[in-house]
């Protein structure tokens, strides 16, 4: 059944959702245009200084870090995903979901914890010296954590779940007959993995690795804590320390080129690869391992869980307990930071979910009614903010925010409505808008997946009964989208709580969040109150990990039924 929209109703033609999608897409593209204008307006001397003394070293450090983290996440994520999917060994049922736990810990929290734990006068090295009979760090000390090698290990132990999640999904959906045929042809465990399973899972591994590397580029706290001058840290210091917006824009453009190159490499690497649809095939069954191979598999899967979640969380819990036992209560400043974090996260969640709903609605309206992909293209354009590192997005929004503030103030003066002020730049509204643009992809992706489960015939039937597109969305689609909306809201809320780069650059003066409070504690070299803030962030961040675990369990059950 094909519906013909009324010519007299713009709403019936899908005009309004598409107009809103255009507005959102324009807001996302504005910071990129602003960076280009700011970079062009800078003088040649400034650019020569940056290109000679700042950008080469920062870019080299960033590339080495990306290469190292990429190797670690591929080895840990792919190896763990294959082991828990293809084999039975002690602790496998627990490790299947425990391997996702490091996703709940932001990179800067793990770096913060290890800096305190592995400090030369910290608890671990002090215990080792006491056991070995040394009395001073000058006599014995472990290699410094503040190094490239330390940063690669720490970031890799936190970000490998991106690869694990996507690779395990592909391994779960690989048909058992292919695996059994390879075994029948004489392939052993290693040959089976490298020549059969790994090539089929390559697209998912590439996607997961790209997400992990984008998170590495977005990181500012862990890199600065660990003493690395990456491009992200260079942007932050250039703007806040030297108040050099044009210089920060130059570095941000260099970083944007790196991001685009990373995405292009990801697309090129899987240009001839396709995800295999095996819904009707019998899934692969795990085979039991013998004693020593089984223990080795357990240890391989357990180590990243310990390094990326158990050890840092246990350390933070102990430090938080010591602090609370000394003071008896959480300080009023930290309580205010927690309240600010909750309020900002709620505001960002509301704006992001509503915007994501508009984008998904536009894609559904145009895709189903016009047979074109205009709405889908707008939705894709509006979600590129997630690929932009937070520092790049924040620097790019400074000029648009200043222009909008100037325009609003001139309008108020012309209407005699009061004295001028700041409306976006350095305000809560600007911070909420920036985080919304950054996290739109998280919300719209979940909501689009929810729309995909709703048959278009329901919308067409409601339209034939006289309902407008808005009425169909409110009365038919919205009730069916509740699970997708809840999942999107939960993930956006947690991501906002963990967001550090945008909050550092755009927050109002004298306003602290849990993330910025933790950053300040680490910068000052104090760890007492920071441990409590870090622990709160981790405890809240566990919620979406539980959601992901339930999703994987549902996928496994559906595969077994088929």
- SS3 state at 438: helix
pLDDT band of residue 280 (cuts 50, 70, 90) is: very low
Summary mean pLDDT of the chain: 81
**Residue 136, in any domain of the structure:** no
> Does 181 score more than 70 pLDDT?
no
- Tell me the per-residue pLDDT of 508-524, one tens digit each, with 9 for 90 and over: 988 999 999 888 888 77
Do 351 and 482 lie in a common domain? yes
Do 362 and 239 lie in a common domain? no
Do 427 and 516 lie in a common domain? yes
Residue corresponding to tokens 């504005």: 30
Averaged over 466-472, what is the pLDDT?
76
Do 345 and 273 lie in a common domain? no
**Nearest one of 103, 100, 227, 109 to 169, comparing CA atoms:** 100
Q: Distance between CA 431 and CA 468 in Å, rounded?
A: 35
Tally of structural domains, the chain: 2
Do 186 and 41 lie in a common domain? yes
Please tell me the predicted confidence (pLDDT) of residue 184.
63
* Residue 80 tokens, joined: 């763990």
Please tell me the predicted confidence (pLDDT) of residue 548.
67
Please tell me the predicted confidence (pLDDT) of residue 363.
72
For 56-87, letters b (16+ CB in 10 Å) and e give: eebbebbeebbebbbebbbebbbbbbbbbbbb
Q: Distance between CA 383 and CA 156 in Å, rounded?
A: 26
> Does 556 score more than 60 pLDDT?
no
**DSSP states of 268-287:** HHTTT------TTSPBPPPE
Higher pLDDT, residue 468 or 493: 493
Percent of the chain's residues with pLDDT above 70: 83
- SS3 state at 453: coil
Please tell me the predicted confidence (pLDDT) of residue 68.
96
Interior angle at CA 138, CA 134 and CA 144, nearest 5: 105
> Does 7 score more than 60 pLDDT?
no
With a CB cutoff of 8 Å and minimum separation 6, the contacts of 497 are: 341, 345, 513, 514, 515, 537, 540, 541
Do 280 and 411 lie in a common domain? no
**Which structural domain range is residue 435 located in?**
329-526
Q: Distance between CA 298 and CA 93 in Å, rounded?
A: 11
Q: Distance between CA 192 and CA 179 in Å, rounded?
A: 7
pLDDT band of residue 274 (cuts 50, 70, 90) is: low
* Residue 209 tokens, joined: 């690795």
Q: Distance between CA 258 and CA 254 in Å, rounded?
A: 6
Do 439 and 495 lie in a common domain? yes
**Nearest one of 107, 559, 101 to 301, comparing CA atoms:** 101
Domain boundary residue among 265, 284, 317?
317
Do 394 and 497 lie in a common domain? yes
> Does 540 score more than 50 pLDDT?
yes
Higher pLDDT, residue 339 or 190: 339
Do 473 and 427 lie in a common domain? yes
Please tell me the predicted confidence (pLDDT) of residue 9.
44
- Tell me the per-residue pLDDT of 424-464, one tens digit each, with 9 for 90 and over: 888 999 999 999 999 988 888 788 878 877 887 787 777 78
Sign of torsion over alpha carbons 22, 39, 426, 223: positive
**Nearest one of 317, 373, 345 to 117, comparing CA atoms:** 317
**Residue 501, in any domain of the structure:** yes
Do 263 and 345 lie in a common domain? no
**Residue 125, in any domain of the structure:** no
- Tell me the per-residue pLDDT of 358-402, one tens digit each, with 9 for 90 and over: 888 777 765 544 444 565 666 667 667 777 888 889 989 988 998
Q: Distance between CA 261 and CA 130 in Å, rounded?
A: 50
Q: Distance between CA 184 and CA 194 in Å, rounded?
A: 16
Do 306 and 345 lie in a common domain? no
Domain boundary residue among 293, 317, 341?
317
**Residue 538, in any domain of the structure:** no
Please tell me the predicted confidence (pLDDT) of residue 193.
75
Q: Distance between CA 507 and CA 502 in Å, rounded?
A: 8
> Does 278 score more than 50 pLDDT?
no
**DSSP states of 315-380:** HHHHHHHHHHHHHSS--HHHHHHHHHHHHHHHHHHHHHHHHHHHHHHHHHHHHHHTSS-HHHHHHH
Q: How far is CA 103 from CA 130, 263, 391, 534, in A?
A: 35, 22, 21, 14
**Residue 449, in any domain of the structure:** yes
Averaged over 118-128, what is the pLDDT?
84
Do 171 and 108 lie in a common domain? yes
- SS3 state at 420: coil
Do residues 259 and 210 lie in contact, with contact meaning Cβ atoms separated by under 8 Å? no
> Does 42 score more than 70 pLDDT?
no
């Amino acid at each position: 059944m094909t519906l013909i929209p009324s010519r007299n109703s713009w709403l019936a033609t899908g005009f309004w959702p598409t107009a809103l999608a255009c507005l959102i897409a324009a807001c996302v593209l504005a910071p990129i245009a602003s960076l280009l204008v700011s970079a062009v307006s800078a003088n040649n001397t400034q650019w020569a200084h940056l290109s000679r003394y700042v950008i080469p070293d920062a870019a080299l450090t960033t590339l080495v870090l990306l290469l190292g983290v990429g190797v670690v996440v591929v080895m840990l994520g792919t190896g763990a995903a294959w082991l828990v999917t293809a084999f039975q060994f002690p602790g496998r049922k627990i490790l299947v979901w425990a391997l996702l736990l490091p996703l709940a810990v932001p990179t800067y929290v793990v770096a913060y914890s290890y800096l305190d734990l592995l400090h030369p006068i910290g608890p671990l090295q002090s215990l080792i010296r006491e056991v070995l009979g040394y009395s001073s760090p000058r006599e014995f000390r472990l290699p410094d954590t503040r190094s490239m090698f330390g940063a690669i290990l720490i970031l890799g132990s936190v970000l490998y779940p991106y690869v694990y999640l996507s690779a395990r999904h592909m391994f779960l959906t690989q048909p058992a007959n292919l695996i059994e045929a390879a075994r029948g042809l004489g392939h052993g465990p290693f040959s089976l993995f490298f020549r059969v399973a790994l090539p089929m899972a390559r697209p998912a591994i590439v996607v997961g690795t790209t997400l992990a590397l984008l998170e590495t580029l977005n990181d500012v706290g862990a890199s600065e804590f660990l003493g690395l001058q990456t491009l992200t840290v260079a942007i932050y210091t250039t703007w806040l320390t030297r108040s050099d917006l044009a210089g920060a824009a130059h570095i941000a453009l260099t970083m944007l080129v790196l991001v685009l190159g990373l995405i292009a490499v990801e697309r090129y690497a899987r240009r001839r690869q396709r995800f295999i649809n095996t819904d009707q095939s019998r899934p692969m069954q795990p085979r039991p391992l013998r004693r020593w191979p089984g223990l080795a598999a357990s240890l391989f899967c357990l180590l990243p869980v310990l390094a990326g979640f158990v050890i840092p969380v246990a350390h933070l819990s102990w430090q938080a307990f010591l602090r609370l036992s000394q003071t008896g209560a959480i300080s009023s400043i930290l309580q205010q930071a927690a309240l600010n974090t909750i309020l900002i996260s709620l505001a960002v969640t509301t704006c992001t979910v509503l915007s994501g709903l508009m984008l998904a609605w536009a894609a559904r309206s145009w895709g189903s009614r016009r047979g074109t992909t205009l709405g889908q293209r707008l939705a894709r354009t509006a979600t590129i903010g997630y690929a932009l590192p937070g520092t790049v997005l924040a620097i790019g929004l400074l000029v648009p925010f200043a222009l909008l503030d100037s325009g609003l103030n001139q309008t108020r003066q012309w209407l005699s409505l009061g004295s001028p002020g700041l409306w976006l730049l350095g305000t809560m509204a600007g911070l909420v808008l920036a985080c919304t643009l950054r996290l739109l992809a998280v919300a719209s992706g979940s909501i689009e997946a929810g729309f995909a489960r709703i048959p278009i015939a329901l919308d067409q039937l409601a339209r034939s009964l006289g309902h407008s597109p808005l009425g169909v969305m409110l009365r038919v689609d919205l009730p069916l989208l509740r699970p997708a909306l809840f999942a999107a809201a939960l993930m956006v809320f947690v991501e906002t709580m963990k967001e550090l780069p945008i909050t550092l650059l755009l927050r109002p003066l004298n306003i602290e969040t849990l993330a910025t409070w933790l950053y300040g504690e680490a910068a000052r070299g104090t760890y007492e109150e920071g441990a409590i803030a870090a622990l709160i962030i981790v405890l809240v961040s566990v919620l979406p990990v539980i959601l992901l675990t339930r999703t994987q369990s549902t996928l496994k059950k559906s595969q077994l039924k088929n």
